[in-house]
Each structure stands twice: as structure tokens, then as C-alpha cells.
Amino acid sequence: MAGEFGTKFMPQMTLSEYDNGWSDMRTVDADTVSLHPGAHVFHYASTCFEGLKAFRHKDGSVNIFRMDKNIDRFRQSSELLYLPPLDIELTKNMITSIVGQYRNEVPEPPASMYIRPTHIGTEAAIGKAAEPSDTSLLFVLLSPVGDYFSHGEASLRILLDEVGVRCGPDHGMVKGGGNYASALKHCMRAKQEHNAHQVLFCPDGDIQETGAANFILIDGDTLITKALDDSFLHGVTRESILTLARDRQLKVEERDFNVEELLERCAKPGTEAGLSGTAAVWAAVTTFIHNGKEYKVGSGEPGPIIRDIRAELNDIQWGEAEDTHNWLERV
């Protein structure tokens, strides 16, 4: 899974620094930043980021998918980490400027240009373990990417973990580096001990999310996913999928549900399960592993609803279907 995804970068990026106000945007080489070794980010994980994509349409235009929604979540993550407040217009300009500079490098679908805005605390102050950084750095990297799953349609094996937690339960809605770091040991153990692709965190049986994606269950004409709270990331792709499902007159239940209900529903023919996120879009889960036992999801093969809604979402992103929700912004 993932393969070479996100390992190649455009040679330049946009950058701005905060010190009692944001500096003018600069375009700089993307291979180096200069930080003091005492920078807050190195010691106290004052870092958050976003992931969004730009797509090339058949008419040659380049369009960014749901930029405003991602910037708003970026703002929220920065606030919850007590980083200096984002300048929304500056952030938007930094994204559109660097994408515009490399518009001719945006690949044809199904590939895309992955956009990674990042905000880090830079104050050299190792005594501020319980205080925020007063200065920060904002930069926007670009990475041309292909399909997240290099071998075609996903068919994922997921470990259900009722003991471990991805991160602090009141911190899950932050898209911050520390949350991914704290989930890593659980993900690695799942791969090594169970040949699983990911962990679905279910503390005390409560279904939340995996280490890097939201989770959605499909039973007949009903989509079930955890209601938004502080414990997990409020995914932009998740919201887009639920919107398209409602457009199809499918029922959407945003509520708490547990491992017992999940496994009971997965035993029914036609049940589907999937992980949603910017990188993978919507990837089918076909096997759960729980207490040493494996459980097939429905037939054990990727199902039609995930396949159809993912294709519909891709068609909007690629300019092959009408953007009725105004999700695309032309650069």
C-alpha cells in the first residue's frame, strides 16, 4: 500500500513566517528549510498539515478539490495546537500560487497533484513544554502522485483494536503529526503480527477511525459512520462521500456503533466497508481481524456501492461530471 506515493516533489514551494504578523509569501527551493535545533516543533510536536489535490481536466484547466474546506480544517488544527493564527487569504494564495506555477506539471487523471500545506512552531525555546510557540513557519509542498494503491482496487485487511488508542480522545480532530506518530506503533504491530494493512481503533468497543483514514460501513441502502466529535479527524473526503450517498437517496446514519454490531452486520451478504481519505479516496475493506479470528465483509470482495460512489467522486474531480456542489476551484 502507498508504494512511492508522495516521494517526489516539485522543486519549489511557497513559504511565509510568523513573528508578530505574517511575512509576505516567498517562493523558495523545496529541498531545505532552516530551523534552530531548539525549535518548538522538534521537541513538542507543534505541527499540523493538510492534504488536498489538484486535477487536470480535459480542457487543460487545473482545478483544486475542496480547498476552502481543507483550509478551514487547517485553521482549526492550528488553533487547537495554539500555533499562531492562520491568515486564510494568505494560505489560499500560497496554494494557488504554487499550483499555478506548476500547472503544466499537474498529471492527467487518474493521477493528480497532491498539495501539502504545513504549519510548524519555530520558536527556539526548549523550556516551553507546556506553552505554545510564538513564531511559526507555513509552507506548501507539491507532489505529483498516481494511485495510492499501486496494484489496482483495494481489498484491505483491518485489525480491530479495542485496547489501543490513536491519540488523546480530545485531540483526534487535529490533523497533526503527533497523532500519526502515536498511532504508528499500533499500525506496525498489526502489519507484523496479523498481516493487516491498518488498525481500526475501537477503544472499549467504540468504532472510531484507522491510523490514517475515516471508516464507513454499508448495510443495504444505509451508510453508517461515527458522528463527528473530538476523537477523530473530520474528513473532507468522508463528508463528500456522505453527500453523494444522500444524493443517491441512500440513508446516512452518523452515530456511535460498536465492534459487536460491526461484525454482526459484516456477516450479512451485500455488506461493504471502506476507508476514506484524500490519498486513497474510498478503499474497500474485505477482512476484519478480531481476537485472532478473521471475518469476511459480505462476500469478501469489494462491493458495488463503494466502487460506484468512488467513481462518481473521481468523475467530479476529473471534470467528467457536473460539479453540482461547487467543490472545484479553477486555478
Tell if the pTM clears 0.75, that is, is over it: yes
Q: What is the mean pLDDT of residues 286-308?
A: 95
- Does the structure show a pLDDT above 70 at 208? yes
Residue-range domain boundaries for the chain:
12-145, 156-317
The angle subtended at Cα 325 by Cα 275 and Cα 312, nearest 5°, is 45
* pLDDT tens digits, one per residue of 258-268: 999 999 999 99
For residues 56 and 319, what is the distance between their CA atoms, to the nearest angstrom? Answer: 8
Provide the mean pLDDT of the chain: 95
User: Please, are residues 187 and 198 in contact by the beta-carbon 8 Å criterion?
Assistant: yes
Question: How confident is the model at residue 189, as a pLDDT?
Answer: 94
- Does the structure show a pLDDT above 70 at 93? yes
The neighbour count for residue 176, using CB atoms within 10 Å, is 24
* pLDDT tens digits, one per residue of 126-179: 999 999 999 999 999 999 998 776 555 789 999 999 998 888 888 899 999 999
C-alpha to C-alpha distances, 251 to 255, 284, 294, nearest whole angstrom: 13, 19, 28
CATH class of the domain at 12-145: alpha beta
CATH of 156-317, one of 3.40.50.720, 3.20.10.10, 1.10.287.70, 3.40.1030.10: 3.20.10.10
The crossing angle, in degrees rounded to 10, of helices 67-80 and 88-101 is 130
- Could you tell me which residues are beta bridge partners of residue 282? 276
- Which helix H or strand E contains 247, and what residues bound it? helix 236-247
Question: How confident is the model at residue 4, as a pLDDT?
Answer: 75
Q: What is the mean pLDDT of residues 94-111?
A: 97
Three-state secondary structure call for residue 310: helix
User: Please, are residues 158 and 196 in contact by the beta-carbon 8 Å criterion?
Assistant: yes
CA 29 to chain centre: 25
Question: How confident is the model at residue 2, as a pLDDT?
Answer: 42
* pLDDT tens digits, one per residue of 17-29: 999 999 999 999 9
- 19-42: burial string, b at 16+ Cβ within 10 Å, e else: eeebeebeeeebeeeeeeeebbbb
Q: What is the mean pLDDT of residues 248-263?
A: 97
- Does the structure show a pLDDT above 50 at 1? no
Q: Classify residue 102 as exposed, middle or buried by CB count within 10 Å of its CB (0-12, 13-18, 19+).
A: middle
User: Please, are residues 208 and 202 in contact by the beta-carbon 8 Å criterion?
Assistant: yes
Closest CA to 266 of 291, 231, 290, 239: 290
Question: How confident is the model at residue 261, as a pLDDT?
Answer: 97
Question: How confident is the model at residue 291, as a pLDDT?
Answer: 94
For residues 64 and 70, what is the distance between their CA atoms, to the nearest angstrom? Answer: 11
DSSP 67: H
* pLDDT tens digits, one per residue of 30-82: 999 999 999 999 999 999 999 999 999 999 999 999 999 999 999 999 999 99
Question: How confident is the model at residue 164, as a pLDDT?
Answer: 86
* Amino acid at site 42: F
Question: How confident is the model at residue 6, as a pLDDT?
Answer: 86
Share of residues in the chain with pLDDT > 90 (%): 91
- Which helix H or strand E contains 265, and what residues bound it? helix 259-266
C-alpha to C-alpha distances, 37 to 29, 31, 141, 204, nearest whole angstrom: 21, 18, 22, 40
In 147-212, DSSP assigns E strands to 156-161, 198-201
